[in-house]
Structure formats: structure tokens, C-alpha cells
Amino acid sequence: MPKFTLNGKEVQFTEGQTIIQAAANAGVDIPHFCWHPSLSVSGNCRVCMVEVERIPKLVIACSTIAAEGMVVNTRSEKTLAARNAVMEFLLINHPLDCPICDEAGECKLQDYAYKYSAGESRFTEEKNNKKKRVALGPAVMFDGERCISCSRCIRFCDEIAGKNQLTLVKRGDRVTITTFPGKELDNPYSLNVTDICPVGALTNRDFRFNSRVWDMSSTKTICSGCSRGCNTDVWVRSNEILRITPRSNPDVNNFWMCDEGRLKTFRNVNAEDRVSGPQVRREGKLQKVTWDEAYSAAGELKSYTKEDIAFIGSPEATVEDNYLLVKFAKSVFGIKHLSMLDHSVTGSGDEILIREDKSPNAVGAKMAGIASENDELDFAGILNGIKNGKIRALYILEDSKLSEYPQLIELLSKLDFLVVHAVNYSPLTKYANIVFPAASYTEKNGVWVNFQGRAQRIRPAITTHETDRSIDGMSMSRLDKFGTKFDSWGNVNKVEARPSWKIIAGLMTIFGHKQKFSMAEEVFREMSDIIPAFKGENYDKIGESGAFIAGKPTAI
């Protein structure tokens, strides 16, 4: 590979790479505002200027191609002086409102001002004022005074979202961002501009003024909005989810995620209609009971055979949850009626990220055993069985979309016995004889498999009353080992939810099939020994970026 010298050290690079790209690969951060690895080069912020031997003027690292034998210095006096000058210009009209700016704590201008600027301003005139609190669209707010005209947002809309909605108008220190006449920033990916904005000019209207970044914990997990499985960070304060942001994974979602996944997928977790504990129907009403009482009531399932009981798995639940449901149905009843609802919505996908399949784990659920070639086992077959009275009992794993499926809801009254795992109350729970409170995807460990065949980890970002008891006394270092970060031990959710795999494991004990699982990882380990698709896989191999399983991945 070709090499060049960077700050006195030889650095390898790939033909065609710019200095800033080669430096980043070598672990050297050259300050930048307008440059972004997934956007075209604009070269307008000028803060990335570096000195190159035998070139009389400083060059911008974001657009200068690296060459064999080139000698680059990012710390020379000439470079530092130019960088300080650029920072001074950027700060001339920038408001001193860091104490009230949502970007504080994750602001490049704030960081670079501390690290590279002169520390004082020679500008004594009145700052140029611009419009504040401008709603560019339903999700994004714009504060013109903070904008440094890096044009990242414009290039994102043009190049990634494919929507020409933003532009720069005016010149000099009066230049500002605006939407084109008659348009607003309303594309399905609009909130990504708030992530890539290096300052606090563009902010999320839903999250605006809710919290400081240093007051929240972040947990690496996966978006539940569709089968893409975008890698995300869940941000929590006082055991409440406040925002979700995309996490970079070039094999899945690059740096982006859609607005719907960002804004809607956690609402049910914070909702007031959470199933707060195990419940059993007595005298026509659901009554909260202990877990032992709920398990005892579920013992009535023993009176049903494989001919008159059906199981519905969930493409929203983890592979561990679905695997134990299959194991329960197979070991106790011999399985005859087992399927799940297809979450696909025709025409709802796009060519960027959004998939027509609105479930995060349909592929993984099928791999875990929620699938069959026998027509008698498909979802329509279960509905027909309930309709003609052949199926009298139904066991439903956590699937929120089933409550929106009228063909099933109108048949539930025909059942003699209904068991439901649910995160929230719904039309399903209205008919249920037993309701088990299931932990949401932000409250448990597990694995989802996206449409590509890529296994990815979800991790608990918040804690319930049950998870708090289960980790009582565990050291913080041990918690971190399992990817669990709780920002407030004193504010524990009173919801007594458990992961579905754990609920089923407890229920199997009632039926004489005791399971010795204490954590989701142990369930996955058994799966990897039994199911060919998961053979040789474990949580460590899946890691933070995921791992392809069962052959070659499909195209992104």
C-alpha cells in the first residue's frame, strides 16, 4: 500500500483517499465541521486546513487526495494559527447560549473552541441576530444564530434522503438555512440532520429541552420498527426513555435511521397502559395476582391436547423467547398449531432503509421454529380452527400487531381459554384468562435476526421491578459486562415484567419440564447446540455490530 508521512510518522492509505480519511484510519483526528464520511465534500468550513511540504499554501484535508511520499503536518504553527483564525470567524456571531443549548455536551463547536481557539474574541461590535425557533418541518427546529453554514443538512437531504428541501440563502454573515418555497423538511429521514449538525442549530422538536446528554445513560441496542434492524443508542434518564439515535453500522444502516423508528418505537415502553403485573380473570374481571398464582392458573392448559390448542409466536419477540415457546409447545403438547402473524405492509418500504416487513425478528422467529410447510400450522389455519370450534385454547406470545388484526379479535370470544404475553393492555388482554407482563425490548437481553440474516443484540436500557430484583447486589462492573447500564437505581419502574423466555421457563416447571436457565445467554447457548442456523454462535461473536448466520447474507 502507498504511504505518506503524517506528523512525523509513516501512514498507509488507499488510492483515492483524502488526507482526512487516511488520517482517520490511522487514528489521527483532524478537526472538521462540514466533512462527513457519507456525504459529498463541500470544503466550506476550512477548519481542517493542514500544512503539506512543497505546497506554499495550507490545504483542506477533506478534499486533498493523499499521495505517495506526501509530508503532512496537522500541528505546525502555521496550521494552528489558521485553525485559530477560522474558529475566531465562526464564533464572531455565534451566540453565547451554551447553557441553554440542547447540543451542549456533544457539540463540535464547543469542543473545538475549547481545544483550538484563542480563548478570547477581538470582536466588540454587536452580533448579527438571526431568526430563532424556526420550525423547518414537523420534527426539526432551526436556530439560525447557531448555524455555521456547514451545509451537512442540505447535502444529506439531497444525497441520502433524496429530497431537495433545504438550501442556503443570502451571503456573508447573513447566510442562513431555509426550506424551498412551498416545501418543509418532512422527509422520512429528516431527524438525521439533527444528528449530523455539528452545532445546536438543528434540534429534535420531540426531545428539545428534555435533558442534558451528561444526565442520560446510553445503551447500544436495535430499532424495533422494521426488519432492517437499525443499530441505535437508547438514551435514558430517571429510568425513562427520552430519545433514540442511530448508531453507525456500515453493514446495516450506515449512520442513519428513519424518523418513525426514532420517534415511535419506544412510546409503548413509557406509556401508562403497561401491564403492571401477572393477572388472572376471576368473576369476569382481570385481577392482579402473584406469579405463582398466575402459573397455577395456567395449569388449566393441561386439559387441552395438541388438537384443540394453538400457539402464536411473535416476530417482535427475541429468538430466545420464540425458541422456548416452541420447546414448550413441543415438549408438553406435541405441536400441531403453531404460527405467527406476518407484519408486512405492501408498499410501505423504500430503497434507503425502511422495509415492508414491520417486525424486527421474523427471520429469527422462523429459525427458532415458528414456521412450518404444513398448511394446518399457518396463521390462517389457526383462525379457521378457532372459527369452526376445533381450537379451544390459544397461547399468544408478545405481538402488538395482533391487537390490530380484526380477524383474530372477533374470534377470541369463541375460545375457552386464552393466555397472553403483553407489554401493554390491548384488545387481546380484554379477552385473556391470563395475562403475563412481558418485558419490552428495552428491558431485556436477547437476539433479533434482521432480513439479511444478521443476528444482532438487544440490551436492557431501563429496569423493571422484576429486573431490579434479579440484579440486586450485582456489582456495576458485572452489570457492564452484560451490557446493562442503569442511570438511576433509586427510580425503578414498578412494572413487574419479565422476559418472555423466563415466563415460559417458569411455566414449563408447572408441567414437569423444568428449565435451568438463569439468563437469556444460556437459552441462546442451547439454541446454538440444537438449531443448525445458530451453530457456533454466541453473544460474544455477535458483539455490538452483529454477525451473519445461516449462510450468505442477502443484499442490503
- Do 40 and 182 reside in the same domain of the chain? no
For residue 44, being part of any structural domain is answered with: yes
- Do 121 and 8 reside in the same domain of the chain? no
- Do 73 and 162 reside in the same domain of the chain? no
Residue 86 has pLDDT above 50, yes or no: yes
Residue 71 has pLDDT above 60, yes or no: yes
Decide: 465 and 494 in contact? Cβ < 8 Å. yes
For residue 255, being part of any structural domain is answered with: no
Backbone angles phi, psi at 80, to 5 degrees: -65, -40
Query: Of the residues 37, 58, 92, which one is the last residue of a structural domain?
Result: 92
Question: What's the confidence (pLDDT) of residue 483?
Answer: 41
CATH number of the domain bearing residue 194 = 3.30.70.20
Query: Of the residues 154, 186, 209, which one is the last residue of a structural domain?
Result: 209
Percent of the chain with pLDDT over 90: 84
CA distances to 99, 152, 154, 392 from 167, rounded to whole Å, are 29, 11, 6, 61
- Do 369 and 327 reside in the same domain of the chain? yes
Residue 472 has pLDDT above 50, yes or no: no
Question: What's the confidence (pLDDT) of residue 494?
Answer: 67
Question: What's the confidence (pLDDT) of residue 278?
Answer: 96
Question: What's the confidence (pLDDT) of residue 57?
Answer: 96
CA atoms within 13 A on the CB side of 162: 5
For residue 300, being part of any structural domain is answered with: yes
pLDDT tens figures, 212-239: 999 999 999 999 999 999 999 999 999 9
Coil, strand, or helix at residue 427?
helix
- Do 360 and 399 reside in the same domain of the chain? yes
Residue 506 has pLDDT above 70, yes or no: yes
Edge-to-edge strand ranges of the sheet holding 240-246: 217-222, 231-237, 240-246
In terms of C-beta density within 10 A (0-12 exposed, 13-18 middle, 19 or more buried), how is residue 234 classed? buried
- Do 51 and 177 reside in the same domain of the chain? no
CA distances to 132, 224, 238, 467 from 235, rounded to whole Å, are 26, 15, 10, 18
pTM of the model: 0.90
Higher per-residue confidence, 543 vs 479:
543
In terms of C-beta density within 10 A (0-12 exposed, 13-18 middle, 19 or more buried), how is residue 444 classed? buried
Question: How many CB atoms sit inside 10 A of residue 199's CB?
Answer: 19
Count: domains in the chain: 3
Per the structure, the complete domain to which residue 70 belongs is given by 3-92
3-state secondary structure 163-231: CCCEEEECCHHHCEEEECCCCCCCCCCCCHHHHHCCCCCEEECCCCCCCCHHHCEEEEEECCCCCCCCE
Report the alpha-carbon distance of residue 396 to residue 379 in Å, rounded.
12
Q: Which amino acid is at 83?
A: R
- Do 105 and 57 reside in the same domain of the chain? no
Q: Which whole number is the average pLDDT over 6-23?
A: 95
CATH number of the domain bearing residue 56 = 3.10.20.740
For residue 458, being part of any structural domain is answered with: no
Report the alpha-carbon distance of residue 82 to residue 331 in Å, rounded.
72
pLDDT tier at 552, thresholds 50, 70, 90: very low
- Do 199 and 62 reside in the same domain of the chain? no
Question: What's the confidence (pLDDT) of residue 470?
Answer: 46
pLDDT tens figures, 169-190: 999 889 999 999 999 999 999 9
For residue 553, being part of any structural domain is answered with: no
- Do 364 and 408 reside in the same domain of the chain? yes
For residue 481, being part of any structural domain is answered with: no
Residue 334 Ramachandran class (φ > 0 left, ψ -120 to 50 alpha, else beta): left
Report the alpha-carbon distance of residue 42 to residue 34 in Å, rounded.
7
Averaged pLDDT score across all residues of the chain: 91
pLDDT tens figures, 252-300: 999 999 999 999 999 999 888 999 899 999 988 999 999 999 999 999 9
pLDDT tier at 377, thresholds 50, 70, 90: low
- Do 189 and 75 reside in the same domain of the chain? no
- Do 153 and 175 reside in the same domain of the chain? yes
pLDDT tier at 333, thresholds 50, 70, 90: very high
State the DSSP H helix or E strand holding residue 494, giving kind and residue range, or none if neither: none
pLDDT tier at 474, thresholds 50, 70, 90: very low
C-alpha cell at 160: 441520502
Lowest mean pLDDT among 117-126, 427-436, 479-488: 479-488
3-state secondary structure 124-166: CCCCCCCCCCEECCCCEEECHHHCCCCCHHHHHHHHCCCCCCE
For residue 124, being part of any structural domain is answered with: yes
If you ran DSSP here, which 8-state letter would residue 477 be given? H
Query: Of the residues 209, 230, 251, which one is the last residue of a structural domain?
Result: 209
Decide: 512 and 425 in contact? Cβ < 8 Å. no
Angle at CA 395, nearest 5°, toward 420 and 344? 85
CATH number of the domain bearing residue 369 = 3.40.50.740
Residue with cell string 428491558: 443
Question: How many CB atoms sit inside 10 A of residue 399's CB?
Answer: 26
- Do 322 and 344 reside in the same domain of the chain? yes
Question: What's the confidence (pLDDT) of residue 122?
Answer: 85
Question: What's the confidence (pLDDT) of residue 450?
Answer: 96
Closest-CA residue to 448 (of 249, 241, 230): 230
Residue 478 has pLDDT above 60, yes or no: no
CA distances to 23, 43, 74 from 5, rounded to whole Å, are 10, 23, 11
For residue 453, being part of any structural domain is answered with: no
Question: Helices 108-115 and 77-92 sit at what angle, rounded to 10 degrees?
Answer: 130
